[in-house]
Amino acid sequence: MSNDPLNPLNERQQNFCTYGGTFGILITVTCLIQHLVVTKSNWITNSMVLLYAIIAVFFLLLALQKSYSPYLIIAGGVFALVMQYIWMRHLSFSLAVLLLFIYHVVILVALYTEQVPYRLKLKRKAELEEEQKWAGKL
């Protein structure tokens, strides 16, 4: 446990969230750049660009240690799986998108193994209690 009563995450868990989210953003941007270079523009590929942007935001929220970010990372993993399916359906293959999906799985296993979602909920609860404590005093 950290010494900060408003942040029950230890230094290792904080670094895991920060670096895990940052690395996830970098992988997502790599997939996005590959997508923009390789694909032709149509409604399917344009919707995939939006999904990449959403996944990047999900990883940003993990890096910012938001309490709901583990659930968003699960949704991002589903999006990455759907995008890999779309790539394969069109007789193509993207190793970068496959790595993005695998990264989602690995980061989720590590998050739940390290009990980060529980600690993020405790952090959010402490922040809400602190806000309520100071609500009428300022």
Q: Tell me the pLDDT of the chain (138 aa) as tens digits.
A: 456 666 787 889 889 999 999 999 999 999 999 999 988 888 888 889 999 999 999 999 999 999 999 999 999 999 999 999 988 888 788 899 999 999 999 999 999 999 989 988 988 898 888 888 888 776
In a domain, residue 89? The reply is yes
In a domain, residue 81? The reply is yes
In a domain, residue 5? The reply is no
In a domain, residue 38? The reply is yes
* Domain containing residue 48: 11-131
- Tell me the whole-structure pTM to 2 decimals: 0.88
As a three-state string, the secondary structure of 80-133 is: HHHHHHHHHHCCCCCHHHHHHHHHHHHHHHHHHHCCHHHHHHHHHHHHHHHHHH
In a domain, residue 4? The reply is no
